[in-house]
Amino acid sequence: KDVQKEREPHVFLSKEEVKEKIQSYNSSVTDKLKMTLNANGIYTGFIKVQMELCRPITVQSSQSQGKCAPSNQETAFYLPDGCVNTLHISSTNTVREVIEALLKKFFVADNPAKFALYKRCHKEDQVYTCKLSDREHPLYLRLVAGPKTEMLSFVLREHETGEVMWEAFSIPELQNFLRILDKEENDQLQILKNRYAAYRGKLEEALRGVLKPG
């Protein structure tokens, strides 16, 4: 169930409170992805982000990485649904920075403004998905919720259709999307033709059997 983002104030925690929460968090961790408190009060840790992308993404080839100009060595494809990626971040990193780091990690050339980070949580035997604002801090949310992903998990999605910043897409990207859609349409059409051809063959075979002289 998708709901509007609930306004949850970022409660200021003292260094001692953060230390206690991190100790409690680490004692419950089962995958060795623990948090670390630094002397300056900033803590670091890991979050897992599930990719739920409906539209294709554009990925740079190894030859075009690091170049500023658009390259024809970019490929658009659909990411398998349900992919989970792990990021090491700090308590100061915002949602926007997490999105940018996630895309950079996998050489995604798309504009980060096309994407949004959601939190998925359980409440009263129901699962809620809420869009996070760009200035929220995912590691803080992870710390407060504890390490169990059943209680809180993060999901990367595109903005809803009505929120899409179409000007953020380049012409090559849009052309790639059209090519992918054309290919999918042709593939589905061929599957449909093959299905009816097989059905027609069985009908013709049955008719020959019925009409065959006794």
Q: Global pTM? A: 0.66
- Can you tell me which residue has the tokens 């910043």? 165
Q: Is 15-60+68-161 in CATH node 3.90.110.10?
A: no
User: Does 62 have pLDDT greater than 60?
Assistant: no
User: Does 4 have pLDDT greater than 50?
Assistant: no
Structure confidence at residue 168 (pLDDT): 63
User: Does 19 have pLDDT greater than 70?
Assistant: yes
Length reported for the chain: 214
Beta strands in the chain (DSSP E): 2-3, 36-37, 43-51, 57-60, 74-77, 84-90, 115-123, 126-131, 152-158
In the structure, what pLDDT confidence band is assigned to residue 9 with cuts at 50, 70 and 90? low
Structure confidence at residue 144 (pLDDT): 92
Q: Torsions phi, psi of 36, nearest 5? A: -130, 130
Domain spans in the chain, listed from the N-terminal domain onward? 15-60+68-161, 168-211
Quick one: how far is CA 24 from the chain centroid?
Answer: 29
Answer yes or no: are the C-beta atoms of 137 and 10 closer than 8 Å: yes
User: Does 200 have pLDDT greater than 50?
Assistant: yes
Give 108's DSSP letter.
B
